[in-house]
A and B are shown apart, each in its own frame.
Chain A
Amino acid sequence: MTRTRFHQNLDDLKEKLLVMAGMAEQAIQRAMEAYRVGDLSICDLVVRSEPAINRMERDIDQRALDLLAMEQPMAIDLRFILAVIKINADLERVGDQAVNIAERVRDMHNLPPVELPVDIPRLATMAATMVRHALQAFIDADPAMAEKVLLMDDEVDEMNRAVYGALARSIETMPQHSQSALNVLLIARNLERVGDHATNIAEDVIFWVRGADVRHHLHTAS
């Protein structure tokens, strides 16, 4: 009773999710490029890519639902499909964060330029690295790699707190630039959320491969 066709369908679902992951990653990269160079056309590109990500999310969910209904998967296959459904939602939210960043960049374009004492590209690199490592863990079914992502989340949270402190001080000392500071604060918040989504993806990989629920620092195998 080997289920060759079913396992081929699981492989196809994985492929599809990786395409979705590529779209979400590209959206974040473009949003940060727009921030770095202040290019509104890139912002437009990010916003225009969102409906495609949303369509892909629905398509993947439908395929996963069909497999649950038609194949009654068990054990690692069941955990895989649950992980795909959750990772799919996280990737869609990563796409939303990219759009939020693009909108902040658009808003900043109409404001006088200012040098703020924060390193947003560094925070962006960190968040993007978390996403890439979480996805690599998914591709390789590698829970050890996923655990590394969980550790990086604390670092991103710390960087976000430092950005918050620095921008709060800037708003006090340069009140004329408070709107720009608020935009950058929101971008930092968006990037921190991207890190959270990467963390969720990493947790889902651990659940899929090991059957262990490590969410909310629950480090006991279920």
Chain B
Amino acid sequence: MGAGIEVKDLNAWYGSTHTMHDIHLTVPANRATALIGPSGCGKSTFVRCLNRMHETNPIARVTGLVKLGDLDIYNDAAPVAIRRRIGMVFQRANPFPTMSIYDNVASGLRLGGFVRRKQIDEIVERSLRRAALWDEVKDVWKRKSGASISGGQQQRLCIARALAIDPEVLLMDEPASALDPISTSKIEDLIFELKADYTIVIVTHNMQQAARVAEMTGFFLNGYLVEFDATTKIFTNPADKRTEDYITGRFG
């Protein structure tokens, strides 16, 4: 099952630049939450703070509270342990090009200490099924390179790789922005399926996509969370004029 995320007083910096200001937000468990806003608004920085990716940049800094369930992710656990519970999928599919489809999905398991072949086989198959990729690769999964399949399949492979280590949260940073409409709709259908077992946070520039997949939507602007509400409310009757101006294309 997914876990909710509670964010309080979250601030982030790159060097001396204050990029995110006093974010308060509760991401509900087993729901999809979309983050929208113009380029440079802080939405990607925000999701990178949720699994301590932000601090991998040596000049980056974060203050504030982020809790996954009861766990304070900045004080109660090491970053690697956090990233096992909060997986991430990026804009560009990034399978390991020299590995087979199978080995791509198994890589996280092996790093986590799994050694029994039969158990790894089961988890890889289950992950590929959950990522809606199994039927397309089941005959070639152990011999074909992860980089040899289509872009849409590669992205689902990356989702399968993230799911293999059984996270509670899946962060997706523009997961379909480089994909064609059919591959995009497969990713969106997948998000719908995955909500039953995972909490999903998706950063997207495509507002129709946010409207289609997410129950909750947050609008970021200039490093501030302007509005966070039910997606239906945001897209039919937002409370803040800046949100309305952005989603109706009056600026951005």
Q: CB within 8 Å of B: which residues of A?
A: 1-3, 6-7, 72-79, 211, 222
Contacts and interface: CB of A to CB of B under 8 A. Distances in A.
A214 to B, nearest CB: 14
B248 A75 contact: yes
B74 interface: no
B118 interface: no
Contact of A2 (B235, B237, B238, B250): B250
A78 B236 contact: yes
Interface in B206-252: 207-208, 211, 234-238, 243-244, 247-252
23 contacts: A1-B38, A1-B249, A1-B252, A2-B249, A2-B251, A3-B248, A6-B249, A7-B249, A72-B208, A74-B236, A74-B247, A75-B234, A75-B235, A75-B236, A75-B237, A75-B238, A75-B243, A75-B247, A76-B248, A78-B236, A79-B237, A211-B237, A222-B237
Interface of B: 38, 207-208, 211, 234-238, 243-244, 247-252
Contacts of B211: 74
B182 to A, nearest CB: 18
Nearest to B250: A2
Q: Chain B CB within 10 Å — which of A1, A72, A73, A222 has the most? A: A1
A2 B236 contact: no
Contacts of B252: 1-2
B237 A73 contact: no
B19 to A, nearest CB: 22
Contacts of A74: 207, 211, 235-236, 247-248
A87 to B, nearest CB: 18
A5 to B, nearest CB: 10
Contacts of A2: 249-252
A76 B248 CA distance: 8
Contacts of A78: 235-236
A7 B248 CA distance: 9
- Which residue among B237, B243, B251 has the maximum number of chain A CB atoms within 10 Å of its CB? B237
- Indicate the member of A3, A75, A77, A211 with the most B CB atoms within 10 Å: A75
A3 B250 CA distance: 7
A75 B235 CA distance: 5
